[in-house]
Structure 1
Amino acid sequence: MGVEIRANGLVMTYGETRAVDDVSFTVASGEFFGLLGPNGAGKTTTLEMIEGLRKPQAGTVRVGEFEPWKREPELQRRMGVQLQSSSFFERLTAREQLDTFGALYGVPAGRTDELLEQVGLEVKAKTRTEDLSGGQKQRLSIACALVHEPDIVFFDEPTASLDPQARRNLWDVLRRLNDSGRTVVLTTHHMDEAEALCDRVAIMDSGKLLKLDSPAALVRNLDAPVRISVAPGTLSLEDARALSGGDAVSDGDSELTITTRDPARVLSELAARDALDGLSVKGASLEDVFLQLTGREFRA
């Protein structure tokens, strides 16, 4: 179980737009790998080349021993794909959709009940797909990708339409898939999702791969200051500015924030002043890394 991916020098252009520009990376067998980037970064096109939906114009990609664009039946049986947008057979219920997908792979009918429970759609089993909400359709799409118990699974923004509860429940499903030895490849705009789930992430922009490492290593290498916030009235602005180790102090309506690269010293002095009530400490996150690499301007 689990499949290695090797992408080398991938290129894809649309007219004068170089959507994927000499992208190379390896995903280890059994790894949970994230592909991140703003809209138009090239991550979905990269994913489609790895899935075999597009043949690279240059470069090579192998999934296990196979070139995916050749659509080898043996590889297809080992892959599960949840696309950014999915279509279902008309007038079928959620159960019938899963039964149909399962039949294509020779999967026993009992697998449908297991999957409906995994994605929280048991009560919608007899509901036609056209009557499901956007989030419910998204969960059904994920179940369809898992029906044949693939060794490698691709998820393109799987939680985009989900509410917070469904999103966290899906995280548990993805973790269990990966814990069982499967390779999982994910694209997402939720940096907290990538930080919580992925062993490594690749950040893309304008078709190029900018950084690739574990979320923790990317955050650590950012060398960003820590922000320590205290509740109003806990500490005066003058006392905050007098703290050793504080680089800057900002006084907002709801809290006073101390920016520092020596949080241990600042926290020690706050403790000495009995000013720890309501305190919060926030370091850098993967979102800070993402914004530093890709900028803050609006994207189409």
Structure 2
Amino acid sequence: MGSDLNRQIILIAGPTASGKSALALRLAEELNGVIINTDSMQVYNVLEQLTARPGKAELERVPHYLYGHVSPSLAYSTGRWFSDVEGLLKSPELFEKTLIFAGGTGLYFRALLGGLSTMPAIPEAVRSFWRKQDGELGAEKLHEMLVLKDPLAAASLRPTDSQRIVRALEVFDTSGRSIIEWQKETGRALINAATARKIIIEPDRQWLGSRIAKRFEAMMEEGAIEEVKSLLSLGLSQELPAMRAIGVKEIAEVLAGRIRAEQAAELATIATRQYAKRQMTWFRNQLGDDWERVPYP
């Protein structure tokens, strides 16, 4: 595939709650299209409300792919998503369709356009060691260790981002090279960046902050608490990506009787706004001038 992929493709990136799904839905209906999930949290099958996955009404309007197809017990990676998309692109039923990739995970868009870097296979002993260290020492201590081992990677990661810090330590211990160096060695792109239409939604921050608050209130009313209850009943490791979805920790505190639902909503709203700010910064710095920038969908 790659540069010889002769079909209409639209990419829609943007921060959470910015209206990506609504824009994708409208374009899909206008252009005989399908929507492909480009968000790392919307792949999980338990968290429909908390991850703002398209609902039944949206799914009935146009075909959607790679939404809610992964168990929260799995650590779904960019590589797995890339492989799933590669399979979709070979599906005969999609050959005549406009493909609309919509979501907020920057690394997914980077992989689509520039290929996926080849990472070293991590031995189980190395993986287990750093997972154990994370549980015992915490993210900030591991970040201090990463500064000494791989300052290049450490400079690019927040000291609280334990998942990526652990990953960087695993890669360095296995290969002796920075994960940043590995990431620069990209592979084959899945789509032609020159012919795809690329859109970034860049909403007003005050508008987005208000929208985030209203959306989380709606999530709470429409079943988010029951979703988290179901997720917790699985007894999964706290280190799995699904367990780190914004709102899970806060609602778990409600279920444990330690805070009220209103407090959980406030805390989750703050966390979501912070996440949206990081997304906007990433898109602004990582995606080039060939992307259309629109203030709202």
Tell me the TM-score range normalised by the shorter chain. under 0.3
Q: With CA pairs under 8 Å and 6+ residues apart, which has the higher RCO, 1 or 2?
A: 2
Provide TM-score, normalisation by structure 1.
Answer: 0.22
Larger relative helix fraction: 2
Provide TM-score, normalisation by structure 2.
Answer: 0.22
Larger relative strand fraction: 1
Which has more radius of gyration?
1
